Amino acid sequence: MKAAYFDCFSGISGDMILGSLIDAGLDADRLRAELAKLPLSGYEITADRAMKAGIAGTRFSVKAAPQQHHRSLPDILKIIDDSALTGSVKERASAIFRKIAEVEAAIHGVPVEEVHFHEIGAIDSIIDVAGACIALDLMGIGAVYASAVNTGEGFVETAHGTLPVPAPATAALLAGVPVYSSGIRAELATPTGAAIIAHLARDFGPLPAMTIERVGYGAGFKDLPVPNLLRVFIGEAAESTTYESVLAIETNIDDMNPEFYQHVSERLLEAGALDVYTAQVIMKKSRPGALLTVICRDDAREALARIIFEETTTAGIRYRRMERTVLDRETRRVSTPWGEIAVKVLAAAGRVVTVSPEYEECRRIARERGVPLKQVYDEARKAADAMLKK
């Protein structure tokens, strides 16, 4: 399985993530083409070479006119949802922005829907978040890991005034992530960078066992006492089967409009649920009902419980610990008569077990080209099988 390891010795930001991946081989033109699927305009993307303390890297930049208004979470989610991006990219990007909104809401003491983003709502931050999710898809990276994050220290000027480093949003987003300061008085970890890596990384620590294929450096804009670079290692992770402990959140519901379940499921998945499903049950007094089950990691427990209480009619929920085995996963892109389509490749100990075309991409192409969905799906499967045999 292809993996990426981000070495955050000089912090992390959205532009540095994209710069490092471009430096490690991501095709900048393909990234631009995917980002053009977002209903945004009035911006320009550049990826230039830059030197930091004698080390060459790529500096990714988004140039846009200053925005005249602040976007809310529903505004940003609509931008993502209205795009022609793949389903997996939409899901990841939406989940990252939902997490940012939850953190901002807690800091400012307002409901999530009333949060108005300042720096985070700007075009460059939307490009950074969506771009990072797109990049992993284009590069076929199935697992992300990272080092402890150097946050910096001191103070930073923001739309809310002078704030301590790490900024309150950054500190909250990095909850559960190992962090440190090497004494550099500057903001090294930004809220956007913190949100992206906290959501995408499976684990934080030393470089995992992997065969390194490429190393990339994403350059920051500041000059620091250390090289202002984010280093990424791209390579093949050591063959393994992943065992992990997860949490099941369950509740029985017998008095809710069935039309609401789709909305509830979407909110839970966007907020970090690994899986959401319902099963029919017979409850007390022989009433038909639904058993709602949400699978998640521990760090998503509180946010998901809050959504269940807000969006359903339940009066209580249950928790139980589960163990699960996870196949290695990576995304690859294959050529079909209608263009490229993403396929998920699942493997165990290096042996491919399942190949599954991206449903949303197949469905979009089928509707746009007027061909049967099963034909698009079958062509993508054939192309994937041929690619894997080489």
Claim to verify: residue 295 and residue 194 sit in the same structural domain: no
Beta bridge pairs of residue 64: 43
Greatest mean pLDDT range, 126-135, 240-249, 349-358: 126-135
Residue 240: pLDDT above 70?
no
What is the average per-residue pLDDT within 23-33? 97
Claim to verify: residue 223 and residue 114 sit in the same structural domain: yes
The residue ranges of DSSP E strands in 206-241, in sequence order, are 210-219, 229-237
Half-sphere exposure of 119 (CA within 13 A, CB side): 17
Claim to verify: residue 268 and residue 363 sit in the same structural domain: no
In angstroms, the CA 71 to CA 369 distance is 34
What is the per-residue pLDDT for 371? Answer: 95
Claim to verify: residue 304 and residue 208 sit in the same structural domain: no
Domain with 291 in it: 242-326
What is the per-residue pLDDT for 36? Answer: 96
What is the per-residue pLDDT for 244? Answer: 77
**pLDDT over 70 for what percent of the chain?**
96
Cα Rg, the chain, nearest whole Å: 21
Residue 239: pLDDT above 80?
no
3-state secondary structure of 320: strand
Contact between 53 and 43 under an 8 Å Cβ cutoff? The reply is: no
- How many domains does one find in the chain? 3
* pLDDT tens sequence across 140-164: 998 899 999 999 999 988 877 899 9
Q: Which residues contact 134 (CB under 8 A, 6 or more apart)?
A: 31, 34, 35, 85, 89
Q: Which residues contact 219 (CB under 8 A, 6 or more apart)?
A: 16, 19, 50, 52, 57, 58, 59, 228, 229
What is the per-residue pLDDT for 349? Answer: 67
Contact between 289 and 254 under an 8 Å Cβ cutoff? The reply is: yes
The DSSP letter of residue 300 is G
Claim to verify: residue 89 and residue 137 sit in the same structural domain: yes
* Boundary of a domain, candidates 326, 343, 375: 326
Residue 19: pLDDT band by 50, 70, 90 thresholds? very high
Q: First-to-last CA distance in the chain? A: 16
Average pLDDT over the chain, rounded to an integer: 91
Contact between 18 and 218 under an 8 Å Cβ cutoff? The reply is: yes
* pLDDT tens sequence across 364-379: 999 999 999 999 999 9
Q: How many CB atoms lie within 10 A of CB 222?
A: 14
Claim to verify: residue 68 and residue 205 sit in the same structural domain: yes
CATH of the domain at 265: 3.30.70.1380
Beta bridge pairs of residue 332: 343
Residue 62: pLDDT above 90?
yes
* pLDDT tens sequence across 246-293: 999 999 999 999 999 999 999 999 888 999 999 999 998 899 999 999
Claim to verify: residue 285 and residue 357 sit in the same structural domain: no
* Boundary of a domain, candidates 211, 237, 263: 237
- Where residue 200 falls (left for φ over 0; alpha for ψ -120 to 50; beta otherwise) is alpha
Claim to verify: residue 352 and residue 265 sit in the same structural domain: no
What is the average per-residue pLDDT within 308-332? 90
Residue 64: pLDDT above 60?
yes
Contact between 128 and 62 under an 8 Å Cβ cutoff? The reply is: yes
Residue 69: pLDDT band by 50, 70, 90 thresholds? low
Would you say the C-alpha torsion 131, 132, 137, 140 has a positive or negative sign?
A: positive
CATH of the domain at 345: 3.10.20.300
Claim to verify: residue 155 and residue 270 sit in the same structural domain: no
Claim to verify: residue 318 and residue 377 sit in the same structural domain: no
Claim to verify: residue 260 and residue 344 sit in the same structural domain: no
* pLDDT tens sequence across 98-126: 999 989 889 988 888 788 776 565 899 99
What is the average per-residue pLDDT within 78-94? 91
Claim to verify: residue 231 and residue 252 sit in the same structural domain: no
Residue 303: pLDDT above 80?
yes
* Boundary of a domain, candidates 182, 205, 237: 237
What is the average per-residue pLDDT within 335-355? 86
Residue 65: pLDDT above 80?
no
Element (H, E) at 350: none
The lowest-confidence range among 10-14, 33-37, 271-275 is 271-275
Q: Two tokens at 284?
A: 């007390």
Residue 68: pLDDT above 70?
no
The lowest-confidence range among 200-209, 213-222, 303-312 is 200-209
What is the average per-residue pLDDT within 192-210? 93
What is the average per-residue pLDDT within 13-39? 97
Closest CA to 188 of 143, 218, 145, 144: 218
Residue scoring higher pLDDT (331 or 372): 372
